[in-house]
Amino acid sequence: MVAVASNGGMSVAPQWYQNLLADPRIEVSVESWRQSRVARPADDDERTVLWPQFVAVYQHFQSYQVRTSRPIPLVVFEPDGERRPVHSSP
């Protein structure tokens, strides 16, 4: 899983990105499973591969990058545990 910390091309990254830098432990829920993950910024090699894929899906990311002088971070969410089923409350 990878996310883009674009903040619409503003000069600062979104607050959620700052929060992940401070504490990278997260929990992801997708449909019927949940998993602990650790967030980290993509390295330069990963960004070189991933950035064009994000732009291909959502072209505005490229205009956001042009709008700001900061490199827009990509955040990789690495598994940090086994997938667990999501249980609904009664």
Amino acid at 21: L
Q: What phi and psi, each to the nearest 5 degrees, are found at residue 49?
A: -80, -45
User: Would you kindly state where each structural domain of the chain is located, as residue ranges?
Assistant: 2-85
Q: Note the pTM of the prediction, 2 decimals.
A: 0.84
Tokens 């991933």 sit on residue = 50
- How far CA 52 is from CA of 36, 48, 66, 70, 74, in Å, comes to 27, 7, 14, 17, 12
Q: What is the mean pLDDT of residues 68-82?
A: 93
Residues 2-85, CATH architecture: Roll (2.30)
Instruction: Specify the higher pLDDT residue, 39 or 81.
Output: 39
Confidence of residue 66 (pLDDT cuts 50, 70, 90): very high
